[in-house]
């Protein structure tokens, strides 16, 4: 089995575990969506309970196994149920509206932070003890600030005090979303401050890890040998040291990306950014369980796909993964 | 040592590696700053709630007491409803640190149990435990936490601690498993086995003491995760909003528009406290890292080998040993994890 095939199987197992957790949570928890609808409309008769249950598809007829099979079939058809808060909107519709915003913003910002952080880490590792090392504690402080708190401070400084950036939302008022420059320009403008928040708070983590691995890698014999041969620094740094130091950085991506996405979700709330995070807040405040669960699944799948992309990059960067591909 | 009990995990790691006197002086500067900073907050958490100038929940009905800036009567000003911010902060630091430390202890204990069990049981159980560990490493924790805490019965200190602990162990378990596998094959463990020591004694007296610095790092990481997650959850209202933690303070400040109204004294202190505690923990962890990997310290210091985990670019003695026993480590299910796949692939080269 090749590297990629094995990883694919692992992601399928993980997706299945997430699905199954999602299936059991509402069945093990007290309180449910139907009660929250009944509470919302006090003039409904209690006899409406079963009708609402059927409407939302949260009634659990049949055996547990039967429910489970139906549930998995529904998910495979992207049917995540009906939202309680925005009834009668389908959860999948709401997700489709918000997901592109989040993926564009968080994806771009994460890639930028990763690239800058890794580059800074390479330099800091190479010039160990140099000036970049001295700003490390400052960066650690930035990293330790909760995303949303940092977002609020930036919002206060750059949108309310000094009117450089808009105060929130995904695009200017009165614009109709579509592929025209007015809208795209406005959307980019509105995403700058949220993106800056993600980049500034996550850069330190990437940089610190890259720096540490870089320092250990530079001590390796093959790097010393490359230097002894008189190769130019640039070649030693990038072709010999950084390329090898990059692997743990990529391997840690799975854990990190889940972390960054989680932080970004909360941050979106601060900017009233029309992404998944804001949707999640609405779901939480209105006890919209189907929506919360749909969001959990979609985020998990997105993280798994991001990991798969990293695996493809690893095959590209790491000869060992390719050797496996060739020999088996 | 005058630092609080919470960081005793850090210094014990030092004790193990440098038993001679003067070890405080030998600690990396980052670890010292981190320990002192964290010690300060632990002290505040212990003493703070006993010396609060006001009841943090007391709402002063007089409109004149609303949204006052810092003054002699209220060192950190008052909230919209005339509550004393300093009192809330003192109580909040305790609640947040208490939660984080309990989660750290429970999740680290789980990590040690799972990691050591996987390494010692071997075979099917190792495969299963490793697979579960890898799966929960990839599933993003915060959305799952939100789904769970979305049920009001789970809000509050104790349920939050349980949920955070249950989701907080995989990273530590994975690292500890790798280290246990390595130590298990050392001569002194074999000697214990030959003399007929029971397994639990070998684990308790031969294995665990050699993993103290690793367990300490795992603990610090978990505490960091618990603080971040609990504050974020409280900020979106998924906590007992009648209690005062740093997260609920931020929730109330945000929902009553403290920042927009210019009440920085209400909003900045809890956020700054979270950031400083976080910085202390990151510094402490970097310090532990530097203890284990002397190369990370300044280039002139003598290299001392310590059995400390590092990403596999440069196998430390531990990982080098793991790779020697690859046949045992890369069991079927675990072989789906990214790093073990790469280790396995590299087998032919070394």
Tell me if A303 and B138 make a contact (CB, 8 A cut-off). yes
- The residue ranking higher by pLDDT, A45 or B136, is B136
Identify the pLDDT of residue A328: 42
Q: For residue B131, what is the nearest residue in chain A, using CA coordinates?
A: A10
The whole-angstrom distance between residue B228's C-alpha and the CA centroid of its chain comes to 10
Q: How do the pLDDT tens digits run along chain B, 350 residues long? A: 333 333 333 333 333 444 445 566 666 777 888 889 999 999 988 888 877 777 777 777 777 777 777 777 777 777 777 788 888 888 899 999 999 999 999 999 999 999 888 888 878 888 888 888 888 888 888 888 888 887 777 777 888 888 889 888 888 888 888 888 888 878 888 888 888 888 888 888 888 887 887 888 889 888 988 998 899 888 888 888 888 888 898 888 888 877 777 778 888 888 899 989 988 988 888 777 777 666 666 543 333 334 333 333 333 444 433 433 333 333 444 445 565 555 544 443 33
Q: At which residue do the structure tokens 């995760």 appear? A: B225
Backbone angles phi, psi at A90, to 5 degrees: -75, 145
Identify the pLDDT of residue A36: 64
Which sign, positive or negative, has the C-alpha torsion A63, A65, A69, A74?
A: positive
Sequential DSSP letters for B215-284: HHHHHHHHHHHHHHHHHHHHHTT-S-TTS--HHHHHHHHHHTTTTTTT-HHHHHHHHHHHHHHHHHHHHH
Residues in B closer than 8 angstroms to A31, CB to CB, are: 151-153
Q: For residue B257, what is the nearest residue in chain A, using CA coordinates?
A: A152
Sequential DSSP letters for B3-60: S-GGGGHHHHHHHHH--SS-HHHHS-HHHHHHHHHHHHHHHHHHHGGGS-SS-TTPPP
User: B84: which DSSP letter?
Assistant: B
Identify the pLDDT of residue B301: 37
pLDDT of A227 strictly over 90: no
| Mean model confidence pLDDT for chain A | 80
Q: How far is CA A321 from CA A7, A108, A314, in A?
A: 12, 27, 7
pLDDT of A159 strictly over 80: no
Chain B CB within 8 Å of residue A269 CB:
yes
SS3 state of residue B327: helix
Which sign, positive or negative, has the C-alpha torsion A251, A252, A258, A263?
A: negative
CB B197 within 8 A of CB B291: no
CB B336 within 8 A of CB A7: yes
pLDDT of A322 strictly over 80: no
- The residue ranking higher by pLDDT, A185 or A307, is A307
Tell me if A14 and B139 make a contact (CB, 8 A cut-off). yes
Interface test with B, best of A258, A264, A283, A328 (most B CBs within 10 A): A258
Chain B CB within 8 Å of residue A152 CB:
yes
Identify the pLDDT of residue A4: 82
CB A60 within 8 A of CB A29: no
Identify the pLDDT of residue B298: 52
* SS3 of chain A: CCHHHHHHHHHHHHHHHHHHHHHHHHHHCCCCHHHHHHHHCCCCCHHHHHHHHHHHCCCCCCCHHHHHHHHHHHHHCCCCCECCCCCCCEHHHHHHHHHHHHHHHHHHHHHHHHHHHHHHHHHHHHCCCCHHHHCHHHHHHHHHCCHHHHHHHHHHHHHHHCCCCCCCCCCCCCCCCCCCHHHHHHHHHHHHHHHHHHHHHHHHHHHHHHHHHHHHHHCCHHHHHHHHCCCCHHHHHHHHHHHHHHHHHHHCHHHHHHHHHHHHHHHHHHCCCCCHHHHHHHHHHCCCHHHHHHHHHHHHHHHHHHHHHHHHHHHHHCHHHHHHHHHC
Nearest-neighbour CA in chain B from A253: distance (Å): 10
Chain A CB within 8 Å of residue B278 CB:
yes
Burial B97-108 (b: 16+ CB within 10 A, else e): bebbbbbbbbbb
User: B198: which DSSP letter?
Assistant: -
Identify the pLDDT of residue B108: 93
Return d(Cα B232, Cα A146) in angstroms, integer.
8
Return d(Cα B204, Cα A152) in angstroms, integer.
48
Identify the pLDDT of residue B338: 60
User: B296: which DSSP letter?
Assistant: G
pLDDT of A56 strictly over 60: no
Cβ contacts below 8 Å, chain A against chain B, sum to 208
Lowest mean pLDDT among A73-77, A194-198, A224-228, B24-28: B24-28
CB A33 within 8 A of CB A53: no
Q: For residue A210, what is the nearest residue in chain B, using CA coordinates?
A: B311
Strand partners, B84: B78
User: B72: which DSSP letter?
Assistant: S
CB B286 within 8 A of CB B30: yes
| Per-residue model confidence as pLDDT tens digits over A104-145 | 888 888 889 999 999 998 888 888 777 777 787 788 788 788
Nearest-neighbour CA in chain B from A186: distance (Å): 24
Specify the pTM: 0.79
Interface test with A, best of B34, B96, B147 (most A CBs within 10 A): B147
Identify the pLDDT of residue A100: 86
Cβ burial, residue A134 (10 Å; 0-12/13-18/19+): exposed
Chain B CB within 8 Å of residue A300 CB:
yes
Tell me if B259 and A152 make a contact (CB, 8 A cut-off). yes
Identify the pLDDT of residue B336: 55
């Amino acid at each position: 089995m090749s590297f990629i095939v094995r990883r694919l199987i692992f992601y399928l197992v993980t997706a299945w575990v997430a699905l199954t957790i999602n299936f059991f949570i509402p069945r093990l928890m007290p309180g449910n969506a139907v009660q929250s609808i009944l509470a919302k409309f006090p003039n409904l008769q209690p006899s409406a309970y079963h009708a609402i249950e059927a409407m939302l598809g949260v009634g659990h007829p049949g055996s547990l196994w039967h429910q489970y099979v139906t549930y998995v079939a529904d998910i495979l058809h992207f049917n995540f149920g009906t939202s309680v808060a925005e009834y009668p909107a389908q959860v999948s519709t709401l997700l489709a509206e918000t997901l592109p915003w989040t993926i564009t913003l968080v994806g771009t910002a994460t890639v930028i932070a990763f690239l800058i952080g890794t580059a800074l880490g390479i330099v800091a590792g190479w010039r160990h003890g140099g000036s970049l090392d001295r700003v490390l504690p400052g960066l650690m402080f930035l990293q330790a600030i909760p995303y949303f708190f940092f977002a609020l401070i930036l919002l206060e400084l750059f949108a309310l005090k000094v009117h450089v950036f808009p105060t929130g939302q995904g695009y200017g008022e009165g614009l109709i979303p579509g592929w025209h420059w007015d809208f795209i320009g406005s959307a980019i403008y509105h995403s700058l401050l949220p993106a800056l928040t993600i980049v500034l708070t996550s850069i330190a983590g990437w940089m610190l890890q890259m720096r540490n691995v870089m320092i250990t890698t530079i001590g390796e014999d093959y790097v010393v040998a490359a230097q002894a041969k008189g190769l130019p620094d640039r070649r030693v740094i990038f072709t010999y040291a950084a390329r090898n130091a990059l692997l743990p950085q990529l391997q840690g991506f799975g854990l990190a990306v889940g972390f960054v996405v989680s932080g970004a979700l909360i941050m979106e709330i601060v900017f009233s950014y029309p992404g998944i995070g804001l949707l999640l807040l609405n779901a939480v405040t209105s006890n919209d369980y189907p929506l919360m669960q749909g969001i959990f699944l979609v985020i998990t799948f997105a993280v798994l796909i991001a990991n798969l992309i990293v695996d493809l990059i690893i095959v590209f960067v790491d000869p060992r993964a390719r050797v496996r591909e060739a020999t088996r | 040592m005058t630092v609080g009990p919470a960081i005793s995990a850090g210094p014990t790691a030092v004790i193990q590696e440098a038993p001679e006197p003067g070890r405080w002086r030998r600690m990396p500067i980052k670890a010292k700053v981190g320990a002192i900073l964290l010690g300060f907050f632990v002290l505040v958490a212990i003493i703070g709630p006993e010396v609060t100038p006001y009841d943090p929940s007391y709402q002063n009905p007089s409109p004149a007491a609303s949204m006052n800036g810092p003054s002699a009567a209220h060192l950190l000003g008052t909230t919209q409803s005339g509550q004393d911010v300093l009192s809330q902060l003192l109580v909040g630091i305790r609640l947040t640190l208490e939660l984080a430390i309990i989660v750290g202890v429970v999740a680290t204990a789980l990590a040690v149990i799972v990691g050591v069990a996987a390494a010692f049981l071997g075979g099917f159980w190792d495969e299963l435990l490793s697979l579960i560990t890898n799966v929960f490493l990839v599933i993003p924790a915060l959305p799952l936490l939100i789904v769970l805490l979305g049920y009001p019965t789970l809000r509050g200190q104790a349920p939050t601690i349980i949920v955070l602990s249950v989701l907080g162990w995989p990273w530590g378990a994975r690292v500890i498993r790798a280290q246990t596998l390595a130590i298990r094959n050392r001569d002194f463990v074999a000697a214990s086995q030959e003399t007929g020591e029971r397994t639990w004694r070998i684990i308790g007296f031969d294995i665990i003491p050699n993993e103290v610095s690793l367990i300490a790092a795992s603990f610090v990481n978990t505490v960091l995760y618990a603080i971040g997650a609990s504050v974020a959850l409280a900020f979106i209202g998924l906590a007992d909003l009648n209690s005062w933690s740093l997260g609920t303070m931020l929730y109330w400040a945000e929902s009553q528009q403290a920042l927009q109204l210019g009440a920085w004294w209400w909003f900045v202190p809890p956020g700054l406290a979270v950031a400083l505690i976080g910085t202390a923990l990151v510094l402490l962890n970097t310090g532990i890292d530097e203890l284990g990997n002397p190369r990370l310290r300044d280039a002139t210091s003598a290299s001392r080998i310590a059995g400390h985990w590092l990403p596999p670019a440069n196998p430390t003695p531990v990982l080098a040993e793991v790779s020697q026993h690859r046949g045992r480590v890369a069991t079927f299910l675990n072989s789906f994890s990214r790093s073990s796949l790469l280790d396995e692939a590299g087998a032919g080269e070394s």
